[in-house]
Amino acid sequence: MSNPITVPDIISKRYSNEKLVMLTAYDYVFAKLVDAAGVDIILVGDSLATVVQGLRTTLPVSVDEMIYHSRLVSRAVRNALVVADMPFMSYQLSAEQALESAGRFVKEADVAAVKLEGGANMAPTVRNIVRADIPVMGHVGLTPQSYHRMGGFKVQGKAVSEENKIIEDALAIEEAGAFAVVLEGIPPDLAGRITQQLHIPTIGIGAGAECSGQVLVLHDLLGLKLPEETKKPKFVKQYASLGQDVIEAVKTFAEEVRELKFPTEEYTYKRKVGKLSAVVNIS
């Protein structure tokens, strides 16, 4: 088994030719599978609100819920760097509140780093958390926790004034001590300019190919959705259709049960010399 990936490892890849790969995971099983596939970073995203909890935005998910899911992921991972999203209103009230929330993620969920949204306005918060030796990943551009201010999940940085603001935000987050920054929902040329100016890695989602790495939501990548849920963001490439596979598998199981085709003798126990003996190992 290779050595676990660390924050310094992530930073060092900024100047290598190897692109960083980050995916979300929200539970033990998927985290174990994603880790086995060899990604660099596993993000326990507050996207669990929409992906797992069925909510419209990421805003309602709580710190306790995020810590619970982060703990499951950390328990499974052996190689990747585990980063946890700090949910809405867990770091905005004060520097003390932010530090306490970040500390809970490290102590209670065993994550290696936390991620928070915001630019120059959040730089003092990032700086305060980093001073406590808790690594921080930033997130600028389209920030889902700003859903209401932005009027939905809309591409940012189209106007020159917006471009300059996003660049300033990314620079401020780097100066505050973040080890990496997510660039979401911005034009690729802007993401490229930011990547060139920063000394820390950029991880893009809907930000083009010039970033230091890429991230997607695991369930989007795997196609874990109902057939009628065809709408997906432009930047999402679906690599599998597991939602349909699940439906077909469950349908087949239900049919076999109703038609008395399951369980057959192959999947049942039988008595042998006065005791039960397994025909097959079902553990």
Q: Does 175 participate in catalysis according to the annotation?
A: no
DSSP letters along the chain, please?
A: -PPPP-HHHHHHGGGSSPPEEEEE--SHHHHHHHHHTT-SEEEE-TTHHHHTS--SSSTT--HHHHHHHHHHHHHH-SSSEEEEEPPTTSSSS-HHHHHHHHHHHHHHH--SEEE--BSGGGHHHHHHHHHTT--EEEEEES-GGGHHHHTSS-----SHHHHHHHHHHHHHHHHTT-SEEEEES--HHHHHHHHHH-SS-EEEESS-S-SSEEEE-HHHHHT-S-TT-----TTPPP---HHHHHHHHHHHHHHHHHTT-SS-GGGSEEEETTEEEESS---
Angstrom distances, CA of residue 113 to CA of 55, 129, 152, 276: 25, 10, 27, 50
| Catalytic position from the list 117, 163, 174, 184 | 184
Residues acting as catalytic residues: 184
